[in-house]
Chains A and B, each alone.
Chain A
Amino acid sequence: MTQFAPLIPLCPLIGFLILGLLNKRLPKKAAGILASVTVLVSFIFSLNIFLSISGKSVVVPFLDWFSAGNLSVSFSFMLDPLSSLFLLIITGVGFLIHIYSIGYMHDDENSNIFFAYLNLFIFFMLLLVMGSSYLLMFVGWEGVGLCSYLLIGFWFKNNAYNNAAKKAFIVNRIGDLGFLLGMILIFMTFGSTNYTAVFSQAQQGYYPETSFTGNSVVTIITLLLFIGAIGKSAQIPLYTWLPDAMAGPTPVSALIHAATMVTAGIYMIARSSILYSLAPITMFVVALTGVVTALFAASIALAQNDIKKVLAYSTVSQLGYMFLGLGVGAFSSSVFHVLTHAFFKALLFLGAGSVIHGLSGEQDIRNMGGLRKKMPVTAITFLLASLAIAGIPPFAGFFSKDEILSAAYNYNKFFWLLGLIGSSMTAFYMFRLYFLVFHGEYRGKPDLHAHESPKVMTIPLIILAVLSTIGGFIGIPESLGGKSLIAGFLNPVFAYAQHNLLEMPSGSISELMLMAITVVVVIASIVYARNKYVVHKDLPVAEGLKMARIPTIIYHKYYVDEIYDILITKPLDRISEFLERVFDLKIIDGMVGAAGKLIQWVGGKLRLLQTGNVDFYLFAMVIGIVLMLFFKMR
């Protein structure tokens, strides 16, 4: 089956090419169907591979790309449990979102392009996870960044959206530089960027071409790669693009900025688990970044009023959990969380999209309320997803998040505590959102008749809702009597790394304790939210009214964007102006110009020496002779 692997990314690429080249000549319906079908085909292939892979790791060569000296890169694909799982997520969720988009985008004039972009995105994302080397991963990595840019700025007439798109791309690029340098250092250390070569050498502690010594080079490599991951997966300090990225159409948010692209960072670290396991310092940095981000983003989400913004910060926060998992060495738990998060976060976004669609573009939760009755399917699926993300057993999120938290507990109890606070916040803001949107009275424009979305949109919702509900069962931990299928499935990939890290003391009693604590805290948060927003009908303060200090800061997202603006963007502009106006034009070019002027000036003066008086000429001549003889006189 693996020989068909190249077809998996190629299908969406073909779809993209057809859509891109034909563009408006293709009927809208056909475009949507074509785009979906290509992804479906990929999904089928992926499923096939997923089922047949069973712990193997296969490299499928496809095409040579380039080589220079001992550096040689080819388009070859690596199929192993990790990549096949991601393939499944990408194509599966991707397919559902394609279908959903047919409905969501049906009245947009450029929908064909939209589908082309989506297909292109799927292509790059598949390349990212299938690539058998870091360089190919980087290709996909950058490619998804581009698609993200294109899709965020899909409504290109709106400059705010364009700014968001640009910001996403540029911030991503900051991370990409780290990735690039890390990749080069990998090449310099191991003489290759192919996973197999790199990992086998790393395992043997064999660093043939390095100028650094042993472990420190791995630390540097992993840190550099982690910078890449920070950018792509929206961690502190590069997370700011993701909330803004919500400018794009909602399916995009669901697909790219929740389910797939942003998890690329997780994938990368999971993929490099062997390297990371050799670099404890990096692991700590990862964990720390993850937990801080989780908490930080969750706190921002508490006070947001834009339905998609809440979800966006929630995504950032959840990604933080995943990094926490990675950092504490629970690689498979993180990947598990990626999977479940893909289900429920996609579902949340699609649900939000459905709401927005139903309310003709309204995004402010202060103008919603009581939609439960008008949009029952959306409401129910949204509730399920909220339960999943909040971590109520037995929904999907519970299992994955809990694994991470328990691993964190073993690693560092303080991290666990922070994680716990974060998850209580998660529960609170999610249900704040849910209650404000679906419960209470409708507060929006009176003439707007909210309606349930068409089937083509609701069916994906339902499917995802089912997955969000039962998806967790593949990872029931041993402490609950399960077998943790997913951990077993991924074991071949992470075995070395797990082995390499310290054996964690894990007692099932304490694990159960932790679960209980979490569940209690989460439920308490939900109850508090219900109390506040349903019983007391408390509403977020409207725009422009005075808030208490701390909520103000949170509402303004800790002013991070503004701080970046003052610290980086504005100074950069000013430096740019200064360099051109002063340094380039005045100093450097000024010196060149001054040399020219000086010569001109000297020329102007020198010609005055030509006085026209023969007297002077004769004098000059004789003095010349005198001087000449004088210097020759010895």
Chain B
Amino acid sequence: MITLLLILIPLFSSLLILSVPARFAKIFAFAASFISFAVTLAVFISFPVSADYQYLIDYNWIPSLGIHFKVGIDGISILMVLLTTFLTPLIILSARNEDNHTPVFYALILFMEMALTGVFVSLDGFLFYIFWELALIPIYFICLLWGGVNRVNITIKFFIYTLTGSLFMLVALIILYLHTPNHTFDINDLYHAGRSLDSRMQGILFLFFILAFGIKMPIFPLHTWQPDTYTTAPAQGSMLLSGIMLKMGIYGAIRWLLPMLPEAVHEYSVYVMWFAIAGVVYASVIAITRSDMKRLIAYSSIAHVGLIAAGIFAFNIQGLQGGIVQMLSHGVNVCGLFFVADIIQNRTKTREIPLLGGIRSKAPMLATAFLIIMLGAVALPLTDGFVGEFLLINGVFHFSPYMAALGGLTIILGAVYMFRAYQRTALGETSQATDHFTDLTLTEKAVLIPLVIMVLFIGIFPQVFLNISEPAVVKLLSGY
């Protein structure tokens, strides 16, 4: 029942919020998302160390087609749901009153939360697809209605780009469905169907799936929607997109691709990994000279996700566990970074790094938070990025040492662009733009402090999360 609750709370609150007076909308949305978080946290704390799906709900949704409303939580899902529900209240909180956010804005965010949660708990292929697509609509509108310059073209590009992938995934899912003996979309049946296919067919389906997941993540060279979209989207949109939504792609690959098409994975994942690793270097190098803060973060995100992708496609326990924990930390980090960028933009009306500087002397708290989050992003040990990155490189190393070495370049290049950005924004003398910079407001603190705490918490106590996901990952690997 609780699984359903996790979907329904945001859904109903997203509808209810439209009837709430505009000035209470934000508070209402925050409260609703916070309740979701509290519920998730309760689930998380009481979560048994087990490889099985918990809180399973199986409702015969479309009987004639074997489509079930089947949701359940395992060790991997709960972490993703936790990430979603943890970040959503913060994202809501981060919205600024002066940016003219109507209740619709918050409704869209909550709706998005619902869809994302749904993606992470679905155990039915069709349901998964529905939620997958549902997540696209609110973010499209968030970007379209509250985005920056040239948003029309960029958002449509984003939409069609991602839809391209997902439609091919739909085709793949249908093909799998047709291969199930009694025509169902149940995940286990799909697993069996996928495994029973010959390797050529598996290869085709692999391609279809990888299109969807690769675009969503995004993996080089399917990434070109992403920098534009992140840059144009409003801060909350960027946070949603990068913090949670791109995890859909990785999660999808873990849950719906890797165990399903073992032969194809065995045969083709090496190509995916090479692309991903190439993306790591490629995006990192590009990030070095980006002057727009959000664009820089966007490219950094491609780099990080590339490593995650490579790690999970290595398909061993270190890679997967690393991928999972890195998803959490990347979510936290990138949200933090985007929020910092938003704060800076809000104060200075610019995101151009060369125009900034000296923020640390005006806003030490912001600078400190920025620093800590950035350290998380560059994977300093004891911050969240390290454990994941270490495990990921470890996983990739198992697969190919050269790939690991190349992917490991991220720790160098990451430091190059992040420290460069930090130096030019936070350090040095103040510029014209930052002359009247003020430190964090109460709300901003309320957003940044939890993020900073999470950066350190995940870094120091990653086992809290790894323990939960381990049985599920082992089960995936054993290919039950």
Which A residues lie at the B interface, using CB under 8 A?
Answer: 64-69, 71, 135, 138-139, 142-143, 146, 149, 153, 156-159, 162-163, 166, 169-170, 173-174, 176-177, 180-181, 184-185, 187-188, 572-573, 575-577, 579-580, 584-585, 588-589, 592, 596
Residues of A close to B184: CB separation below 8 A: none
Residues of B close to A149: CB separation below 8 A: 419
Knowing A68-B391, A180-B393, A588-B224 are in contact, say whether A576-B382 is a contact too (CB < 8 A): no
Question: Would A573 and B288 count as touching, CB distance under 8 A?
Answer: yes
Of A66, A577, A580, A592, most B-chain CB atoms within 10 Å: A66
A156, A158, A185, A572: which contacts B285 (Cβ < 8 A)? Answer: A572
Output the nearest chain B residue to A153 by Cβ-Cβ distance.
B427
Q: What is the minimal beta-carbon distance from B41 to any residue of chain A, in angstroms?
A: 21
Residues of A close to B409: CB separation below 8 A: 177
Residues of A close to B420: CB separation below 8 A: 166
Q: Can you show 19 pairs from A to B with CB atoms below 8 A apart?
A: A65-B387, A67-B466, A68-B322, A69-B317, A139-B381, A156-B428, A159-B423, A159-B427, A159-B429, A162-B427, A173-B415, A177-B409, A180-B408, A181-B393, A181-B397, A184-B394, A576-B289, A579-B285, A588-B221
Question: Would B394 and A187 count as touching, CB distance under 8 A?
Answer: yes
Residues of B close to A181: CB separation below 8 A: 393, 397, 401, 404-405, 408
- Is B290 close to A, CB under 8 A? yes
Q: What is the minimal beta-carbon distance from B360 to any residue of chain A, in angstroms?
A: 6
Q: What is the minimal beta-carbon distance from A487 to any residue of chain B, in angstroms?
A: 33
Question: Would B428 and A157 count as touching, CB distance under 8 A?
Answer: yes
Residues of B close to A65: CB separation below 8 A: 387, 460, 462-463
Q: What is the minimal beta-carbon distance from A440 to any residue of chain B, in angstroms?
A: 38
Question: Would A157 and B427 count as touching, CB distance under 8 A?
Answer: yes
- Is B358 close to A, CB under 8 A? yes
Question: Would A64 and B419 count as touching, CB distance under 8 A?
Answer: no
Question: Would B423 and A68 count as touching, CB distance under 8 A?
Answer: no
- Is B136 close to A, CB under 8 A? no
Question: Would A169 and B415 count as touching, CB distance under 8 A?
Answer: yes
Knowing A69-B317, A173-B415 are in contact, say whether A156-B398 is a contact too (CB < 8 A): no
B285, B290, B316, B404: which contacts A69 (Cβ < 8 A)? Answer: B316
Question: Would B427 and A188 count as touching, CB distance under 8 A?
Answer: no
Question: What total of A-B pairs shows CB separation below 8 Å?
Answer: 133
Knowing A71-B318, A173-B415 are in contact, say whether A142-B381 is a contact too (CB < 8 A): yes
Question: Would B391 and A71 count as touching, CB distance under 8 A?
Answer: yes
How far, in whole Å, are A169 and B375 apart by their CA atoms in the complex? 12
Q: What is the minimal beta-carbon distance from A116 to any residue of chain B, in angstroms?
A: 11
- Is B380 close to A, CB under 8 A? yes
Residues of A close to B411: CB separation below 8 A: 173, 176-177, 180
How far, in whole Å, are A170 and B380 apart by their CA atoms in the complex? 12
Residues of A close to B426: CB separation below 8 A: 156
How far, in whole Å, are A408 and B375 apart by their CA atoms in the complex? 41
Residues of A close to B397: CB separation below 8 A: 181, 184-185, 188
Of B380, B391, B460, most A-chain CB atoms within 10 Å: B380
Question: Would A68 and B466 count as touching, CB distance under 8 A?
Answer: yes
Knowing A138-B381, A162-B423, A596-B157 are in contact, say whether A184-B404 is a contact too (CB < 8 A): yes
How far, in whole Å, are A573 and B287 apart by their CA atoms in the complex? 10
Chain A proximity mask over B382-413: 1 for CB below 8 Å, otherwise 0: 10001100110110011001001100110110
- State which size class the interface on B falls in: 35 or more
Output the nearest chain B residue to A175 by Cβ-Cβ distance.
B412
Knowing A71-B318, A180-B408, A181-B408 are in contact, say whether A157-B224 is a contact too (CB < 8 A): no
Residues of B close to A142: CB separation below 8 A: 380-381, 386
Question: Would B466 and A66 count as touching, CB distance under 8 A?
Answer: yes
Residues of B close to A163: CB separation below 8 A: 423
Across the A-B interface, give the 10 residue pairs with the lowest CB-CB distance, nearest first: A69-B317, A68-B321, A139-B381, A589-B224, A576-B289, A156-B427, A66-B462, A576-B288, A580-B286, A159-B428
Output the nearest chain A residue to B395 by Cβ-Cβ distance.
A68
- Is B161 close to A, CB under 8 A? yes
Chain A proximity mask over B346-373: 1 for CB below 8 Å, otherwise 0: 0000000000001011000000000000
Residues of B close to A169: CB separation below 8 A: 415, 419
B224, B289, B416, B429: which contacts A592 (Cβ < 8 A)? Answer: B224
Q: What is the minimal beta-carbon distance from B450 to any residue of chain A, in angstroms?
A: 16
How far, in whole Å, are A159 and B221 apart by their CA atoms in the complex? 36
Chain A proximity mask over B409-447: 1 for CB below 8 Å, otherwise 0: 101100110011001001111000000000000000000
A143, A146, A157, A576: which contacts B358 (Cβ < 8 A)? Answer: A157
Question: Would A68 and B318 count as touching, CB distance under 8 A?
Answer: yes
Having A65-B387, A149-B419, A176-B411, one finds 6 other A-B pairs with CB under 8 Å, namely: A64-B463, A139-B381, A156-B361, A584-B286, A592-B224, A596-B157
- Is B186 close to A, CB under 8 A? no
- Is B124 close to A, CB under 8 A? no
Q: What is the minimal beta-carbon distance from A512 to any residue of chain B, in angstroms?
A: 47
Knowing A159-B428, A177-B408 are in contact, say whether A188-B285 is a contact too (CB < 8 A): no
- Is B282 close to A, CB under 8 A? yes
Residues of B close to A592: CB separation below 8 A: 157, 161, 224-225
Q: What is the minimal beta-carbon distance from A121 to any residue of chain B, in angstroms?
A: 14
How far, in whole Å, are A69 and B319 apart by their CA atoms in the complex? 10
Output the nearest chain B residue to A136 by Cβ-Cβ distance.
B381
Residues of B close to A188: CB separation below 8 A: 397-398
- B163-181: which residues lie under 8 A (CB-CB) from chain A? none
Residues of A close to B375: CB separation below 8 A: 146
How far, in whole Å, are A169 and B371 apart by their CA atoms in the complex? 14
Output the nearest chain A residue to B289 by Cβ-Cβ distance.
A576
How far, in whole Å, are A575 and B282 apart by their CA atoms in the complex? 10
B287, B288, B404, B463: which contacts A66 (Cβ < 8 A)? Answer: B463
- Is B189 close to A, CB under 8 A? no
- Is B263 close to A, CB under 8 A? no
Output the nearest chain A residue to B324 by Cβ-Cβ distance.
A68
How far, in whole Å, are A162 and B386 apart by their CA atoms in the complex? 24
Residues of B close to A66: CB separation below 8 A: 325, 387, 391, 462-463, 466
Residues of B close to A156: CB separation below 8 A: 360-361, 426-428
Q: What is the minimal beta-carbon distance from B440 to any residue of chain A, in angstroms?
A: 15
How far, in whole Å, are A588 and B226 apart by their CA atoms in the complex? 12
Residues of B close to A68: CB separation below 8 A: 317-318, 321-322, 391, 394, 466, 470
Residues of A close to B358: CB separation below 8 A: 157
Knowing A68-B322, A157-B358, A173-B411 are in contact, say whether A572-B224 is a contact too (CB < 8 A): no
Of A138, A166, A576, most B-chain CB atoms within 10 Å: A576
Question: Would A170 and B415 count as touching, CB distance under 8 A?
Answer: yes
Residues of A close to B317: CB separation below 8 A: 68-69
How far, in whole Å, are A355 and B2 apart by their CA atoms in the complex? 69
Residues of A close to B285: CB separation below 8 A: 572, 575-576, 579
Question: Would A157 and B361 count as touching, CB distance under 8 A?
Answer: yes
Q: What is the minimal beta-carbon distance from B413 to any residue of chain A, in angstroms?
A: 9
Q: What is the minimal beta-carbon distance from B410 to any residue of chain A, in angstroms?
A: 9
How far, in whole Å, are A580 and B228 apart by their CA atoms in the complex? 12
Residues of B close to A71: CB separation below 8 A: 318, 391, 394
Chain A proximity mask over B202-223: 1 for CB below 8 Å, otherwise 0: 0000000000000000000101
Knowing A68-B317, A166-B419, A176-B411 are in contact, say whether A580-B290 is a contact too (CB < 8 A): yes
Question: Would A579 and B286 count as touching, CB distance under 8 A?
Answer: yes
Knowing A71-B318, A156-B427 are in contact, say whether A184-B288 is a contact too (CB < 8 A): no
Residues of A close to B157: CB separation below 8 A: 592, 596
Knowing A181-B405, A185-B401, A575-B285 are in contact, say whether A143-B380 is a contact too (CB < 8 A): yes
Output the nearest chain A residue to B282 by Cβ-Cβ distance.
A579
Of B161, B325, B423, most A-chain CB atoms within 10 Å: B423
